[in-house]
Structure 1
Amino acid sequence: MTRVVVVTGATSGIGRAAALEFAGRGDRLVLAARSTETLEQVRRDCREAGAAGVRDVPCDITEPGALDALTTAAVEEFGRIDVWVHTAAVMAYGRFEEVPAEVFDHVVRTDLLAAAGAARVALRHFKAVGGGTLILTGSVLGHITAPYMSGYVASKWGLQGLTRTLQQESHDLPGVSVCLVTPGSVDTPVYQQAANYLGRVGRPPLPIASAQRVARAIADCADRPRREVSVGRLNLIMRVGFVVAPGLYDHLVGPLMRLGGLTDRPVAPHDGVVFRPNPAGEAVRGGWLPDLPRLARAVGGQAASVGGAVLRRLR
């Protein structure tokens, strides 16, 4: 059966990759994000990828009433919601005391409180119609900590606790599932788009997963709901180290963060996309991994050109 899938944060990174993944599976989509022009492009891309129908709803999910309006738009367009995927998130780099309070607060408002709001409207709808799957996007930073990302870490720890609570409360609701997808480092633009008060542009520490890999994990949860799915080869190792050897972990995490989680590129203090979107910076990839499909197409094109030239010479 064709599903109706709501995706928040659909214009960039994991959200955009998830929208395209569900589109490729023939689902009907309701896409939400702040950037109207990018959302229109994602809508066109999803239609080309095979979506049975697409509705885009430009909105800021931190605004009062936005999530209720999104739910109403989805039901008016397609009659129901089967899967709600929440991926919207922003980040801010800096020592806690140097990040402006309003920036810290809005990171938490976006990454935790808006996720709670999405869960509230989704679960109310699922309870009313007799079933549905809520998929929240956490982070390995919901299980461990890292310096210079206090707002994001606090939000993801809160989201971890919220998800567990929702799973317990929905245990007796037939057909209702609550899932958490927990990625480690992912090749998305969120690091370049983050607010920054640290003086150096952030980057994802190695190893880095593709946004498409996380999107497949999200879509698989819609097919076969699970409590939590971890995406990242070192996630478990980092979690074990955080719990088993906290003193050693705290001693190493600062130098490792400065070495692997920050570039050498200087940057003046700025609030990134915390308060407003930057359409020019929105994409699936952040450029931290090679674009293998494009590379394969380029190599294939060159091989075809060489082959054609050889054939012409042989004739």
Structure 2
Amino acid sequence: MRTRNNVVVITGASSGVGRACAQRFAARGWTVVLAGRRAAELEELARRCRRRRRARALAVPTDVTDPTAVDELARRALAEYGRIDMWVNSAAVAAFGPLESVPPAVVRGVLDTGVLGYVHGARAALAAMRAQGSGTLVNISSAVGAAPVPYNSAYVMAKSAVRALGGSLRQELRLSGHRDIHVCTVLPATLDTPFFGNAANYSGRAVRPLSPVYTPERAARRIVRLARTPRREVYVGPAARALAVLSALVPATTERFLARQMDRHHLSRTVAAPDTRGNVFDPPAGAARHGGWHGRRRTALRRLTTAVLLTTLVLTAGRALRPPGGAAGRMPAAAGRRRCATRRRRGPWSAG
């Protein structure tokens, strides 16, 4: 697939991963169509993108929870540039706290953005791609879509649904014979974005990212590569893959581990926080790719945590593959004694 002068639509482009993706696509000569709730920030980002190799950029303020607005986003992209080669669903909001503490309207708001927003984007993108015969839809899920965590249940549900959506859409496209239309799901580990500072919070405790923390640029690089080499699912950061494998192999152990990590490290035990709806209904002021969580100390913690996860994975896999009764080739002592007694009774040349 050629990449220069192709057209990509990015939702949630105002900040975080969406913003990082926009700048990386523009640096490679892509035409970028930027969608988000903050018009001023989108226009500022569009100006930045146009300075990258004279890339074309169009800002379209869009609330992804409104299907009519998302259809209009696709119509604007097609009217302006004639095609949509890639569509990146990146918008997301979250609400921290025990489920019973989070107001039902906030839970619904998280699901409206994180599930229905992706459904609206997928419908608009696939309609355009079916008409032109090719294209790639990228849905950004999360490592928690494979390994759930507590105190963020609405977001976990949304990201699990996004992963399931990808599987369903791939099957539909195969059955309809559209082999040149791809659906890719991206599962990042914790990323250094404004996500944590902007989230709704009803836990009573300040939210901190759970190590290891990776940069949004790392996710953007992974997403841009999907334009040339589409894949079903890709992980961002070794920790994301390790958690997914551990959750599949030893789900109960992984749940206990993540529960402790979330309670001890993700929510502060010393810093209180007032209840807030965050950016679930209203976008925050300002725009940035980073949240200020990535640095030397966190890089060291990231590497240490990844090493621990990988070691746990190897040890767990070793225990799962070990034959019952001990190491391979070793006969349990009781069975060995019974066999020797049988041989003595039958004689050395007896059959069986």
Judge same fold: TM > 0.5, yes or no: yes
Aligned equivalent of 2:283, options 277, 288, 305: 277
* Equivalent residues in 2 for 1:146-295, closer than 5 Å: 146-171=149-174, 172-263=177-268, 264-280=270-286, 282-290=287-295
Matches of 2:83 and 2:59, distance apart in 1: 15
Matches of 1:46 and 1:201, distance apart in 2: 34
Aligned equivalent of 2:92, options 65, 89, 94: 89
Q: Is the 8 A contact 1:5 1:82 kept in 2?
A: yes
Matches of 2:54 and 2:97, distance apart in 1: 40
What is the one-letter code of the residue matched to 2:242? Answer: I
Task: Quote the offset at 1:20 in angstroms.
Answer: 0.4
Q: Aligned pairs, how many?
A: 290
Q: Is the 8 A contact 1:135 1:178 kept in 2?
A: yes
Judging changes above 3 Å, is the alpha-carbon distance between structure 1 residues 18 and 51 closer, same or farther for their aligned structure 2 residues?
farther
What is the one-letter code of the residue matched to 1:199? Answer: G
Q: Is the 8 A contact 1:37 1:279 kept in 2?
A: no
Aligned to 2:23: 20
Task: Quote the offset at 1:244 in angstroms.
Answer: 2.7
**Structure 1, 254-263 or 203-212: larger mean CA deviation:** 254-263
Aligned equivalent of 2:105, options 102, 106, 109: 102
Could you tell me which runs of 5 or more consecutive residues in structure 1 were left unpaired when the two chains were aligned: 292-315
Task: Quote the offset at 1:51 in angstroms.
Answer: 4.9
Q: Is the 8 A contact 2:27 2:55 kept in 1?
A: no
Overall identity of the aligned pairs, in %: 40
Q: Is the 8 A contact 1:142 1:157 kept in 2?
A: yes
Judging changes above 3 Å, is the alpha-carbon distance between structure 1 residues 273 and 75 closer, same or farther for their aligned structure 2 residues?
same
Matches of 2:47 and 2:166, distance apart in 1: 32
Matches of 2:192 and 2:52, distance apart in 1: 21
Matches of 1:219 and 1:208, distance apart in 2: 20
Q: Is the 8 A contact 1:192 1:201 kept in 2?
A: no
Aligned equivalent of 1:135, options 130, 133, 138: 138
**Greater RCO (CA < 8 Å, at least 6 residues apart):** 1
Matches of 1:116 and 1:51, distance apart in 2: 32
Q: Is the 8 A contact 1:185 1:204 kept in 2?
A: yes
Give yes or no for the alignment of 1:3 onto 2:9.
no
Q: Is the 8 A contact 1:25 1:51 kept in 2?
A: no
Q: Is the 8 A contact 2:142 2:159 kept in 1?
A: yes
Q: Is the 8 A contact 2:34 2:58 kept in 1?
A: yes
Q: Is the 8 A contact 1:28 1:51 kept in 2?
A: no
After TM superposition, the score normalised by the length of structure 1 is 0.89
Task: Quote the offset at 1:143 in angstroms.
Answer: 0.6
CA RMSD of aligned residues (A): 1.4
Q: Is the 8 A contact 2:67 2:120 kept in 1?
A: no
Aligned to 1:296: none
Judging changes above 3 Å, is the alpha-carbon distance between structure 1 residues 175 and 26 closer, same or farther for their aligned structure 2 residues?
same
Q: Is the 8 A contact 2:49 2:55 kept in 1?
A: no
**Structure 1, 72-81 or 255-264: larger mean CA deviation:** 255-264
Matches of 2:8 and 2:69, distance apart in 1: 17
